[in-house]
């Protein structure tokens, strides 16, 4: 079976949605946007949804990416935020 490379399936540049799961602190969305601005400057309006118990927040943000390595860089940078637990 032949492996297909991710960058052969996705046409760049494109808009990619990142979902960041983290502790329910008021600064989480701002921290996510601040990190994104370092790697993909733009105007962002993340959507925030609280977990059922309210301990965590899910921050969804759409970012224009230019390559597979750009996506990987964003995943790593977002995961490095202290309050973040997962990046999907």
The structural domains of the chain, ordered by start, are 23-87 (3.30.70.260)
**8 Å CB contact between 84 and 21:** yes
Q: What is the pLDDT of residue 7?
A: 64
For residue range 26-68, list pLDDT tens digits in order: 999 999 999 999 999 999 999 999 999 999 999 999 999 999 9
For residue range 1-13, list pLDDT tens digits in order: 656 677 678 899 9
Q: What is the pLDDT of residue 53?
A: 96
Q: What is the pLDDT of residue 2?
A: 59
Q: Which residues contact 79 (CB under 8 A, 6 or more apart)?
A: 86, 87
């Amino acid at each position: 079976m032949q492996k297909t490379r991710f960058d052969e399936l996705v046409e760049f540049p494109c808009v990619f949605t990142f979902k960041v799961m983290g502790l329910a602190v008021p600064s989480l969305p701002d921290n996510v946007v601040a990190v994104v601005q370092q790697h993909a400057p733009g105007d962002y309006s993340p959507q925030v949804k609280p977990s059922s118990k309210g301990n965590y927040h899910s921050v969804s943000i759409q970012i224009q990416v230019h390559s597979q390595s750009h996506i990987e860089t964003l995943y790593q940078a977002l995961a490095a935020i202290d309050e973040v637990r997962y990046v999907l």
